[in-house]
């Protein structure tokens, strides 16, 4: 009998799209050998296909919604390995000349089931080798929460810096999310301080599985990312993780455990606050 596997892929993506696609294909081959009969939800990290030196280089390769060579290649990988795949993130053109940091969910037939545009943009100063990040210079903030209903569960989509804003995850839970997916590229400094704490907290607060896929290593542009890609259960337990370097973390989605936990501690019905996205 097949089960549903939740898999966080960890990468050290480069600026070269073709090299990153080859790396993803290699990992998917290993995943399918390990789980030949199971239904699979694979989550790729943020900037999976292009970890560029400059943000404007990403914008130069941006695509129109539902069309373009990056989207086509990812769709083909979903078909080839018969997986649901969250491709986080690729650049999709915005009307103001910037792009959206778009996370796209593909089904095993290569169809796009939905797109989430990163809402919270990383405009911060960090004590690392880069120092200052201004994502909004080239990236347009998203305006919509995305919870996508699929045969394997309701998937709530977030990206990286979104993790620090619990209202987003509460809203996704209110909209029926069972599984949170979090493509990320946490810096080493911020990841060391907060990555595990925040991913586990978001799972616990909302009684959802969390599939947190991070970049994890030293990149060709000089940036260093934290890694520690994980699958976390609704009680906050780390079911599986990979600390550093390329690889993947795999765990089983246990719907009965999820429902039992929510029944015994009915936090959703006891919630007395409501959040709303600012426009």
| Segment holding 205, helix H or strand E | helix 196-206
Residue 53 has pLDDT above 80, yes or no: no
Q: What is the pLDDT of residue 237?
A: 98
Cα–Cα distance measured from residue 90 to residue 18, given in angstroms and rounded to the nearest whole number? 14
Q: What is the pLDDT of residue 131?
A: 65
Residue 161 has pLDDT above 60, yes or no: yes
Beta-carbon contacts of residue 72 (< 8 Å; ≥ 6 apart):
none
- 107 backbone dihedrals φ, ψ, rounded to 5°: -95, 175
Tell me which residues are annotated as active site: 46, 118, 160
Cα–Cα distance measured from residue 250 to residue 2, given in angstroms and rounded to the nearest whole number? 15
Residue 89 has pLDDT above 70, yes or no: yes
Domain range annotation of the chain: 4-270
Residue 152 has pLDDT above 90, yes or no: yes
pLDDT tens-digit map of 236-279: 999 999 999 999 999 999 999 999 999 999 999 999 998 889 87
Closest CA to 104 of 120, 116, 119: 116
CATH architecture of the domain formed by 4-270: 4-Layer Sandwich (3.60)
For residues 169 and 202, the answer to whether their CB atoms sit within 8 Å is yes
Q: What is the pLDDT of residue 155?
A: 98
Closest CA to 57 of 113, 137, 3, 121: 137
Residue 23 has pLDDT above 90, yes or no: yes
Span 187-216, average pLDDT: 97
Q: What is the pLDDT of residue 57?
A: 79
Span 174-183, average pLDDT: 98
Residue 1 has pLDDT above 60, yes or no: no
| % residues pLDDT > 70 (the chain) | 98
Beta-carbon contacts of residue 1 (< 8 Å; ≥ 6 apart):
none
48-52, 66-70, 159-163, 206-210: the lowest-pLDDT one: 48-52
> Which tokens belong to 36?
């030949």
| % residues pLDDT > 90 (the chain) | 86
Q: What is the pLDDT of residue 275?
A: 84
Q: How many CB atoms lie within 10 A of CB 76?
A: 14
Edge to edge, what strands does the sheet with 4-10 contain?
A: 112-117, 99-106, 84-93, 39-43, 4-10, 247-252
Closest CA to 179 of 247, 112, 79, 257: 257
Q: What is the mean pLDDT of the chain?
A: 94
């Amino acid at each position: 009998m097949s089960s549903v596997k939740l898999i966080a892929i960890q990468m050290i993506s480069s600026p070269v799209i073709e090299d990153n696609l080859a790396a993803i294909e290699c990992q998917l081959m290993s995943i399918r050998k390990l789980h030949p009969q199971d239904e699979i939800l694979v989550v790729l990290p943020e900037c999976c296909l292009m970890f560029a030196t400059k943000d404007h280089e990403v914008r130069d390769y941006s695509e129109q919604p539902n069309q373009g060579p990056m989207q086509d290649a990812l769709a083909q990988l979903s078909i080839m390995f018969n997986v649901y795949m969250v491709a986080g993130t690729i650049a999709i053109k915005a009307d103001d000349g910037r792009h959206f940091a778009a996370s796209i969910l593909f089904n095993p037939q290569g169809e796009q089931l939905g797109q989430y545009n990163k809402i919270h943009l990383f405009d911060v100063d960090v004590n690392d080798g880069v120092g200052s990040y201004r994502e909004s210079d080239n990236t347009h903030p998203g305006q919509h929460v995305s919870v996508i209903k699929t045969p394997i569960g309701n998937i709530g989509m977030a990206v990286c810096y979104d993790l620090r804003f619990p209202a987003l995850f509460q809203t996704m839970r209110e909209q029926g999310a069972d599984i949170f997916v979090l493509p990320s590229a946490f810096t080493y400094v911020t990841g060391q301080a907060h990555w595990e704490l925040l991913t586990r907290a978001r799972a616990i607060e909302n009684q959802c599985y969390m599939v947190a896929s991070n970049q994890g290593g030293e990149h060709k542009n000089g940036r260093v990312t934290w890694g520690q890609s994980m699958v976390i259960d609704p009680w906050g337990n780390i079911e599986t993780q990979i600390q550093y370097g390329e690889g993947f973390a795999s765990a089983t989605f246990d719907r009965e455990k999820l429902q039992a936990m929510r029944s015994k501690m009915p936090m959703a019905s006891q919630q007395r606050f409501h959040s709303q996205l600012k426009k």
